[in-house]
Structure 1
Protein backbone atom coordinates (compact mmCIF):
# COMPACT_ATOMS: atom_id res chain seq x y z
CA UNK A 1 0.00 0.00 0.00
CA UNK A 2 1.50 3.30 -1.13
CA UNK A 3 -1.41 5.62 -0.25
CA UNK A 4 -3.67 6.05 2.75
CA UNK A 5 -7.32 5.05 2.76
CA UNK A 6 -8.34 8.26 4.51
CA UNK A 7 -9.32 10.73 1.74
CA UNK A 8 -7.71 13.74 3.38
CA UNK A 9 -4.38 12.06 4.05
CA UNK A 10 -4.40 10.39 0.63
CA UNK A 11 -4.90 13.79 -1.01
CA UNK A 12 -1.94 15.22 0.90
CA UNK A 13 0.21 12.25 -0.07
CA UNK A 14 -0.77 12.58 -3.74
CA UNK A 15 -0.04 16.31 -3.66
CA UNK A 16 3.35 15.72 -2.06
CA UNK A 17 4.28 13.00 -4.53
CA UNK A 18 3.18 15.18 -7.46
CA UNK A 19 5.26 18.09 -6.15
CA UNK A 20 8.36 15.88 -5.87
CA UNK A 21 7.74 14.51 -9.37
CA UNK A 22 7.40 18.01 -10.84
CA UNK A 23 10.50 19.16 -8.95
CA UNK A 24 12.48 16.23 -10.33
CA UNK A 25 11.20 16.77 -13.88
CA UNK A 26 11.96 20.49 -13.70
CA UNK A 27 15.56 19.99 -12.62
CA UNK A 28 16.00 17.22 -15.18
CA UNK A 29 14.96 19.62 -17.92
CA UNK A 30 17.17 22.35 -16.46
CA UNK A 31 20.20 20.06 -16.43
CA UNK A 32 19.62 18.96 -20.03
CA UNK A 33 19.14 22.54 -21.24
CA UNK A 34 22.23 23.73 -19.37
CA UNK A 35 24.30 20.91 -20.86
CA UNK A 36 23.19 21.67 -24.41
CA UNK A 37 23.75 25.40 -24.01
CA UNK A 38 27.21 24.77 -22.62
CA UNK A 39 28.02 22.62 -25.64
CA UNK A 40 26.99 25.46 -27.94
CA UNK A 41 29.04 28.00 -26.01
CA UNK A 42 32.15 25.83 -26.11
CA UNK A 43 31.90 24.99 -29.80
CA UNK A 44 35.24 25.98 -31.38
CA UNK A 45 35.58 28.47 -34.20
CA UNK A 46 35.70 32.28 -34.32
CA UNK A 47 32.34 32.57 -36.08
CA UNK A 48 30.43 29.99 -34.06
CA UNK A 49 28.15 30.34 -31.06
CA UNK A 50 27.62 33.56 -29.15
CA UNK A 51 31.24 34.65 -29.59
CA UNK A 52 30.83 35.53 -33.27
CA UNK A 53 30.87 39.20 -34.21
CA UNK A 54 27.49 38.84 -35.86
CA UNK A 55 25.83 37.50 -32.75
CA UNK A 56 23.43 39.90 -31.00
CA UNK A 57 25.13 39.09 -27.71
CA UNK A 58 28.46 40.30 -29.11
CA UNK A 59 27.10 43.84 -29.50
CA UNK A 60 25.79 44.22 -25.95
CA UNK A 61 27.82 46.65 -23.79
CA UNK A 62 29.61 45.17 -20.79
CA UNK A 63 31.25 47.83 -18.60
CA UNK A 64 32.63 49.75 -21.57
CA UNK A 65 33.56 46.72 -23.72
CA UNK A 66 31.63 44.31 -25.89
CA UNK A 67 30.40 41.00 -24.58
CA UNK A 68 31.88 39.46 -27.72
CA UNK A 69 35.42 40.32 -26.65
CA UNK A 70 34.90 38.64 -23.32
CA UNK A 71 33.28 35.62 -24.90
CA UNK A 72 36.03 35.29 -27.51
CA UNK A 73 38.65 35.24 -24.78
CA UNK A 74 36.70 32.49 -23.02
CA UNK A 75 36.37 30.52 -26.25
CA UNK A 76 40.10 30.89 -26.83
CA UNK A 77 40.75 29.20 -23.51
CA UNK A 78 38.13 26.54 -24.21
CA UNK A 79 39.74 25.72 -27.56
CA UNK A 80 42.89 24.70 -25.72
CA UNK A 81 41.03 22.07 -23.68
CA UNK A 82 40.71 18.52 -24.96
CA UNK A 83 37.16 18.01 -26.33
CA UNK A 84 36.71 14.74 -24.48
CA UNK A 85 37.75 16.37 -21.21
CA UNK A 86 35.47 19.31 -21.88
CA UNK A 87 32.48 17.09 -22.63
CA UNK A 88 33.14 15.01 -19.51
CA UNK A 89 33.29 18.16 -17.41
CA UNK A 90 30.01 19.39 -18.85
CA UNK A 91 28.37 16.04 -18.13
CA UNK A 92 29.58 16.14 -14.53
CA UNK A 93 28.31 19.70 -14.14
CA UNK A 94 24.90 18.82 -15.58
CA UNK A 95 24.60 15.77 -13.34
CA UNK A 96 25.54 17.88 -10.31
CA UNK A 97 22.94 20.47 -11.30
CA UNK A 98 20.35 17.68 -11.22
CA UNK A 99 21.53 15.72 -8.20
CA UNK A 100 21.99 18.53 -5.68
CA UNK A 101 18.45 19.99 -5.62
CA UNK A 102 16.72 16.68 -6.34
CA UNK A 103 18.85 14.78 -3.84
CA UNK A 104 18.10 17.26 -1.06
CA UNK A 105 14.35 16.86 -1.60
CA UNK A 106 14.48 13.07 -1.94
CA UNK A 107 16.61 12.75 1.19
CA UNK A 108 13.77 14.34 3.16
CA UNK A 109 10.74 12.95 1.30
CA UNK A 110 11.65 9.35 0.46
CA UNK A 111 12.48 8.06 3.99
CA UNK A 112 9.22 9.46 5.35
CA UNK A 113 7.17 7.90 2.57
CA UNK A 114 8.87 4.52 2.92
CA UNK A 115 8.47 4.61 6.70
CA UNK A 116 4.73 5.22 6.30
CA UNK A 117 4.45 2.37 3.78
CA UNK A 118 6.15 -0.03 6.20
CA UNK A 119 4.02 1.11 9.13
CA UNK A 120 0.79 0.89 7.14
CA UNK A 121 1.61 -2.60 5.87
CA UNK A 122 2.47 -3.81 9.37
CA UNK A 123 -0.68 -2.25 10.83
CA UNK A 124 -2.89 -3.91 8.23
CA UNK A 125 -1.32 -7.28 8.98
CA UNK A 126 -1.77 -6.79 12.72
CA UNK A 127 -5.38 -5.71 12.28
CA UNK A 128 -6.30 -9.11 10.87
CA UNK A 129 -5.89 -10.92 14.19
CA UNK A 130 -7.08 -10.42 17.77
CA UNK A 131 -3.55 -10.45 19.14
CA UNK A 132 -2.48 -7.98 16.48
CA UNK A 133 -5.29 -5.58 17.34
CA UNK A 134 -4.31 -5.79 20.99
CA UNK A 135 -0.80 -4.78 19.98
CA UNK A 136 -2.20 -1.90 17.92
CA UNK A 137 -4.16 -0.78 20.99
CA UNK A 138 -0.99 -0.87 23.07
CA UNK A 139 0.82 1.14 20.40
CA UNK A 140 -1.90 3.77 20.64
CA UNK A 141 -1.38 4.00 24.42
CA UNK A 142 2.39 4.35 23.99
CA UNK A 143 2.00 7.57 22.03
CA UNK A 144 3.07 10.88 23.64
CA UNK A 145 0.80 11.90 26.49
CA UNK A 146 -0.84 14.73 24.58
CA UNK A 147 -1.76 12.34 21.76
CA UNK A 148 -3.15 9.79 24.23
CA UNK A 149 -5.22 12.55 25.84
CA UNK A 150 -6.50 13.63 22.42
CA UNK A 151 -7.44 10.02 21.64
CA UNK A 152 -9.32 9.73 24.94
CA UNK A 153 -11.15 12.99 24.26
CA UNK A 154 -12.18 11.79 20.80
CA UNK A 155 -13.35 8.42 22.13
CA UNK A 156 -15.32 10.13 24.91
CA UNK A 157 -17.50 11.68 22.21
CA UNK A 158 -18.52 8.24 20.93
CA UNK A 159 -21.44 6.23 22.33
CA UNK A 160 -19.25 3.23 23.06
CA UNK A 161 -16.87 4.93 25.52
CA UNK A 162 -18.55 8.10 26.81
CA UNK A 163 -16.38 8.26 29.94
CA UNK A 164 -13.04 7.56 28.26
CA UNK A 165 -9.95 9.01 29.91
CA UNK A 166 -6.28 8.12 29.43
CA UNK A 167 -6.38 6.18 32.71
CA UNK A 168 -9.56 4.29 31.85
CA UNK A 169 -8.16 3.37 28.45
CA UNK A 170 -5.01 1.98 30.06
CA UNK A 171 -7.09 0.05 32.59
CA UNK A 172 -9.33 -1.26 29.82
CA UNK A 173 -6.32 -2.50 27.89
CA UNK A 174 -4.88 -4.25 30.98
CA UNK A 175 -8.21 -5.96 31.63
CA UNK A 176 -8.58 -6.89 27.94
CA UNK A 177 -11.84 -4.96 27.60
CA UNK A 178 -12.83 -5.68 23.98
CA UNK A 179 -14.49 -2.28 23.53
CA UNK A 180 -11.37 -0.43 24.65
CA UNK A 181 -9.03 -2.61 22.61
CA UNK A 182 -11.12 -2.21 19.45
CA UNK A 183 -11.43 1.55 19.97
CA UNK A 184 -7.70 1.99 20.55
CA UNK A 185 -6.79 -0.26 17.63
CA UNK A 186 -9.10 1.71 15.35
CA UNK A 187 -7.59 4.96 16.62
CA UNK A 188 -4.11 3.72 15.71
CA UNK A 189 -5.29 2.69 12.25
CA UNK A 190 -6.92 6.07 11.73
CA UNK A 191 -3.71 7.80 12.81
CA UNK A 192 -1.97 6.06 9.91
CA UNK A 193 -4.76 7.02 7.53
CA UNK A 194 -6.14 3.47 7.31
CA UNK A 195 -9.79 2.53 7.51
CA UNK A 196 -10.81 1.36 11.01
CA UNK A 197 -12.67 -1.85 11.68
CA UNK A 198 -10.22 -4.18 9.92
CA UNK A 199 -10.30 -6.80 12.66
CA UNK A 200 -11.48 -10.39 12.26
CA UNK A 201 -15.12 -9.42 12.86
CA UNK A 202 -15.00 -7.05 9.91
CA UNK A 203 -12.99 -9.17 7.48
CA UNK A 204 -14.93 -9.91 4.30
CA UNK A 205 -15.98 -13.49 3.74
CA UNK A 206 -14.46 -14.92 0.60
CA UNK A 207 -17.06 -15.90 -1.93
CA UNK A 208 -16.75 -19.31 -3.56
CA UNK A 209 -15.29 -19.30 -7.02
CA UNK A 210 -17.79 -19.64 -9.79
Structure 2
Protein backbone atom coordinates (compact mmCIF):
# COMPACT_ATOMS: atom_id res chain seq x y z
CA UNK A 1 0.00 0.00 0.00
CA UNK A 2 1.56 3.24 -1.17
CA UNK A 3 -1.35 5.71 -0.99
CA UNK A 4 -4.01 6.35 1.64
CA UNK A 5 -7.70 5.65 1.16
CA UNK A 6 -8.63 9.01 2.61
CA UNK A 7 -8.88 11.44 -0.30
CA UNK A 8 -7.32 14.38 1.56
CA UNK A 9 -4.27 12.46 2.74
CA UNK A 10 -3.94 10.69 -0.60
CA UNK A 11 -3.89 14.04 -2.38
CA UNK A 12 -1.13 15.32 -0.09
CA UNK A 13 0.87 12.14 -0.68
CA UNK A 14 0.53 12.45 -4.45
CA UNK A 15 1.58 16.10 -4.35
CA UNK A 16 4.59 15.22 -2.21
CA UNK A 17 5.64 12.38 -4.50
CA UNK A 18 5.19 14.58 -7.54
CA UNK A 19 7.31 17.31 -5.98
CA UNK A 20 10.11 14.83 -5.32
CA UNK A 21 9.97 13.56 -8.91
CA UNK A 22 9.97 17.12 -10.24
CA UNK A 23 12.94 18.01 -8.00
CA UNK A 24 14.83 14.96 -9.27
CA UNK A 25 14.11 15.79 -12.91
CA UNK A 26 15.12 19.42 -12.37
CA UNK A 27 18.54 18.55 -10.94
CA UNK A 28 19.07 15.89 -13.59
CA UNK A 29 18.54 18.58 -16.22
CA UNK A 30 20.87 20.97 -14.37
CA UNK A 31 23.57 18.28 -14.19
CA UNK A 32 23.31 17.57 -17.94
CA UNK A 33 23.44 21.29 -18.77
CA UNK A 34 26.48 21.77 -16.53
CA UNK A 35 28.27 18.85 -18.17
CA UNK A 36 27.60 20.17 -21.66
CA UNK A 37 28.67 23.67 -20.64
CA UNK A 38 32.00 22.38 -19.34
CA UNK A 39 32.47 20.43 -22.56
CA UNK A 40 31.73 23.57 -24.57
CA UNK A 41 34.22 25.64 -22.60
CA UNK A 42 36.90 22.96 -23.06
CA UNK A 43 36.80 23.22 -26.85
CA UNK A 44 40.03 25.32 -27.00
CA UNK A 45 41.91 22.37 -25.47
CA UNK A 46 40.63 20.15 -28.27
CA UNK A 47 41.78 22.76 -30.79
CA UNK A 48 45.26 22.76 -29.25
CA UNK A 49 45.43 18.99 -29.55
CA UNK A 50 44.31 19.02 -33.19
CA UNK A 51 46.67 21.85 -34.12
CA UNK A 52 49.59 20.11 -32.45
CA UNK A 53 49.02 16.88 -34.32
CA UNK A 54 48.60 18.68 -37.66
CA UNK A 55 51.74 20.71 -37.02
CA UNK A 56 53.75 17.60 -36.17
CA UNK A 57 52.49 15.70 -39.21
CA UNK A 58 53.30 18.60 -41.53
CA UNK A 59 56.84 18.96 -40.21
CA UNK A 60 57.48 15.23 -40.50
CA UNK A 61 56.45 15.29 -44.15
CA UNK A 62 58.57 18.37 -44.72
CA UNK A 63 61.53 16.62 -43.11
CA UNK A 64 61.13 13.63 -45.40
CA UNK A 65 61.17 15.96 -48.40
CA UNK A 66 64.13 17.94 -47.07
CA UNK A 67 66.18 14.79 -46.61
CA UNK A 68 66.41 14.54 -50.37
CA UNK A 69 68.23 17.89 -50.63
CA UNK A 70 71.98 17.63 -51.22
CA UNK A 71 74.49 18.58 -48.48
CA UNK A 72 72.02 20.03 -45.90
CA UNK A 73 69.22 17.54 -46.41
CA UNK A 74 70.12 15.31 -43.48
CA UNK A 75 70.64 18.14 -41.00
CA UNK A 76 67.44 19.88 -42.08
CA UNK A 77 65.52 16.64 -41.78
CA UNK A 78 66.83 16.12 -38.22
CA UNK A 79 65.98 19.68 -37.20
CA UNK A 80 62.45 19.42 -38.58
CA UNK A 81 61.92 16.11 -36.84
CA UNK A 82 62.99 17.65 -33.53
CA UNK A 83 60.45 20.41 -33.99
CA UNK A 84 57.83 17.81 -34.97
CA UNK A 85 58.57 16.05 -31.69
CA UNK A 86 57.70 19.24 -29.87
CA UNK A 87 54.42 19.27 -31.78
CA UNK A 88 53.72 15.72 -30.61
CA UNK A 89 54.33 16.79 -27.01
CA UNK A 90 51.93 19.70 -27.48
CA UNK A 91 49.28 17.34 -28.83
CA UNK A 92 49.83 14.93 -25.94
CA UNK A 93 49.48 17.78 -23.45
CA UNK A 94 46.24 18.80 -25.09
CA UNK A 95 45.01 15.20 -24.96
CA UNK A 96 45.85 14.86 -21.26
CA UNK A 97 44.23 18.18 -20.44
CA UNK A 98 41.04 17.18 -22.26
CA UNK A 99 40.93 13.90 -20.35
CA UNK A 100 41.19 15.79 -17.06
CA UNK A 101 38.46 18.19 -18.16
CA UNK A 102 36.18 15.28 -19.10
CA UNK A 103 36.73 13.59 -15.74
CA UNK A 104 36.07 16.85 -13.91
CA UNK A 105 32.90 17.45 -15.92
CA UNK A 106 31.56 13.97 -15.14
CA UNK A 107 32.41 14.17 -11.42
CA UNK A 108 30.96 17.67 -11.09
CA UNK A 109 27.73 16.73 -12.87
CA UNK A 110 27.26 13.63 -10.72
CA UNK A 111 27.85 15.64 -7.56
CA UNK A 112 25.49 18.36 -8.73
CA UNK A 113 22.75 15.73 -9.11
CA UNK A 114 23.44 13.47 -6.13
CA UNK A 115 23.76 16.10 -3.38
CA UNK A 116 20.40 17.93 -3.67
CA UNK A 117 18.45 14.84 -4.74
CA UNK A 118 20.04 12.68 -2.05
CA UNK A 119 19.19 15.24 0.64
CA UNK A 120 15.52 15.24 -0.34
CA UNK A 121 15.39 11.44 -0.54
CA UNK A 122 16.93 11.12 2.93
CA UNK A 123 14.16 13.33 4.34
CA UNK A 124 11.25 12.01 2.25
CA UNK A 125 11.76 8.30 1.60
CA UNK A 126 12.00 7.04 5.23
CA UNK A 127 8.72 8.77 6.11
CA UNK A 128 6.93 7.32 3.10
CA UNK A 129 8.24 3.82 3.80
CA UNK A 130 7.32 4.10 7.49
CA UNK A 131 3.75 5.08 6.62
CA UNK A 132 3.55 2.20 4.12
CA UNK A 133 4.60 -0.33 6.77
CA UNK A 134 2.22 1.10 9.36
CA UNK A 135 -0.71 1.23 6.94
CA UNK A 136 -0.16 -2.35 5.76
CA UNK A 137 0.07 -3.61 9.36
CA UNK A 138 -3.04 -1.68 10.42
CA UNK A 139 -5.07 -2.96 7.46
CA UNK A 140 -4.08 -6.51 8.37
CA UNK A 141 -4.96 -6.03 12.06
CA UNK A 142 -8.32 -4.49 11.22
CA UNK A 143 -9.43 -7.78 9.68
CA UNK A 144 -9.37 -9.66 13.01
CA UNK A 145 -10.98 -9.07 16.40
CA UNK A 146 -7.71 -9.31 18.30
CA UNK A 147 -6.12 -6.99 15.77
CA UNK A 148 -8.81 -4.36 16.31
CA UNK A 149 -8.11 -4.51 20.04
CA UNK A 150 -4.47 -3.74 19.30
CA UNK A 151 -5.50 -0.85 17.07
CA UNK A 152 -7.73 0.43 19.88
CA UNK A 153 -4.82 0.24 22.30
CA UNK A 154 -2.61 2.09 19.83
CA UNK A 155 -5.26 4.81 19.57
CA UNK A 156 -5.34 5.17 23.37
CA UNK A 157 -1.58 5.69 23.36
CA UNK A 158 -1.92 8.75 21.11
CA UNK A 159 -1.58 12.28 22.62
CA UNK A 160 -4.39 13.21 24.99
CA UNK A 161 -5.90 15.75 22.61
CA UNK A 162 -6.27 13.01 19.96
CA UNK A 163 -7.95 10.73 22.50
CA UNK A 164 -10.22 13.60 23.55
CA UNK A 165 -11.31 14.14 19.94
CA UNK A 166 -12.17 10.45 19.67
CA UNK A 167 -14.19 10.63 22.91
CA UNK A 168 -16.06 13.67 21.61
CA UNK A 169 -17.47 11.58 18.76
CA UNK A 170 -19.19 9.21 21.23
CA UNK A 171 -22.15 10.14 23.43
CA UNK A 172 -21.19 10.84 27.04
CA UNK A 173 -17.66 9.54 26.51
CA UNK A 174 -14.45 10.86 28.05
CA UNK A 175 -10.81 9.82 27.59
CA UNK A 176 -11.08 8.00 30.92
CA UNK A 177 -14.23 6.13 29.89
CA UNK A 178 -12.52 5.08 26.66
CA UNK A 179 -9.67 3.56 28.64
CA UNK A 180 -12.16 1.79 30.91
CA UNK A 181 -14.13 0.55 27.92
CA UNK A 182 -10.97 -0.86 26.38
CA UNK A 183 -10.10 -2.69 29.64
CA UNK A 184 -13.62 -4.14 29.81
CA UNK A 185 -13.58 -5.10 26.14
CA UNK A 186 -16.61 -2.94 25.29
CA UNK A 187 -17.30 -3.55 21.56
CA UNK A 188 -18.49 0.00 20.87
CA UNK A 189 -15.45 1.53 22.52
CA UNK A 190 -13.04 -0.86 20.78
CA UNK A 191 -14.61 -0.11 17.39
CA UNK A 192 -14.47 3.66 17.96
CA UNK A 193 -10.81 3.55 18.99
CA UNK A 194 -9.83 1.19 16.15
CA UNK A 195 -11.61 3.37 13.59
CA UNK A 196 -9.86 6.45 14.98
CA UNK A 197 -6.47 4.78 14.47
CA UNK A 198 -7.35 3.71 10.93
CA UNK A 199 -8.53 7.24 10.11
CA UNK A 200 -5.29 8.64 11.50
CA UNK A 201 -3.40 6.52 8.98
CA UNK A 202 -5.75 7.56 6.18
CA UNK A 203 -7.26 4.09 5.78
CA UNK A 204 -10.82 5.32 5.93
CA UNK A 205 -12.55 7.61 3.46
CA UNK A 206 -14.31 9.60 6.17
Q: Please report the TM-score for the alignment, with normalisation by the length of structure 2.
A: 0.74
Match of 2:149 in 1: 134
Task: Render the CA deviation track for 1:59-83: whole Å, top value 9, x for unaligned.
Answer: xxxxxxxxxxxxxxxxxxx958532
Is there any run of 5+ residues in structure 1 with no aligned partner, and where? 49-77, 156-160, 198-210
Q: Which runs of 5+ in 2 are unaligned?
A: 49-92
Answer 1 or 2: which has greater helix percent: 2
Work out whether residues 126 and 132 of structure 1, in 8 Å CA contact, stay in contact via their aligned partners in 2: yes
Query: Does residue 1:176 correspond to 2:176, yes or no?
Result: no
Q: Deviations over 1:104-146 (max 9, x none)?
A: 1111111110000000000001001000000000000001222
Deviation at 1:97, TM superposition (A): 0.5
- Indicate if the aligned counterparts of 1:189 and 1:196 stay in contact, CA closer than 8 A: no
| 2:166–2:192 CA contact under 8 A, matched in 1 | no
The residue correspondences of 1:1-210 to structure 2 (distance < 5 A) are 1-44=1-44, 79=94, 82-153=97-168, 155=169, 161-195=170-204
What is the root-mean-square deviation of aligned Cα atoms in Å?
2.1
* Worse overlay, 79-88 or 116-125: 79-88
Aligned counterparts of 1:21 and 1:186: Cα–Cα separation in 2: 33
Cα displacement (A) at 1:87: 1.1
Which of the pair has the greater relative contact order for Cα pairs under 8 Å at 6+ separation?
2
The structure with more radius of gyration: 2
Spell out structure 1 runs of 4+ moving beyond 4 A. 45-48, 78-81
Give the Cα–Cα distance (whole angstroms) in 1 for the partners of residues 205 and 173 of structure 2: 18
Q: How far apart, CA to CA, are the structure 2 residues paired with 1:190 and 1:147? A: 12
Conserved 8 A contact 1:187-1:196: no
